[in-house]
Amino acid sequence: MLLKSNGDVISSDVEYAKSMFKQAKGLMFRRSVPDSYAMVFIFSSLKKISLHMLFVPFPLDVLFLNEDKRIVKTTTLRPWIGITDSGEKIRYVIELPSGTISSNELKVGDDLMFDEP
């Protein structure tokens, strides 16, 4: 489960991408994800990350988090052609259905809570 620090549930259906293969594949080749979905990328160390939407046919909201699970950047990526980078070294990336950032009023500086498998 993915929660805001105040206890509000952001996503109840969380998938973790820890392996290099899962991180490289991400959400490519899927047709959609449920409204309650989140994919959490966990990196073994702090690093700058680039993301692309090649073979992802639906828009995504993306959160970049530091080692304290605090949001340092938010963005929305367009299907097929979206591309972005973290801008700074981060430890986590969370991909969410488009609209999740605004509907949950997520912003830079917010703390998130989730278990690490």
Q: What is the dihedral of CA 11, 117, 41, 13, to 10 degrees?
A: -20
Give the model's pLDDT for residue 74. Answer: 98
**Residue 79 clears pLDDT 90, i.e. is over it:** yes
Distance of CA 36 to the CA centre of its chain: 13
Q: What average pLDDT does the segment 34-50 reach?
A: 96
Element containing residue 32 per DSSP (H, E): none
**Residue 4 clears pLDDT 90, i.e. is over it:** yes
Give the model's pLDDT for residue 89. Answer: 98
**Token pair for 3:** 């929660």
Answer for the pair 78, 53: CB distance below 8 angstroms, yes or no: yes
**Residue 64 clears pLDDT 90, i.e. is over it:** yes
**Residue 117 clears pLDDT 90, i.e. is over it:** no
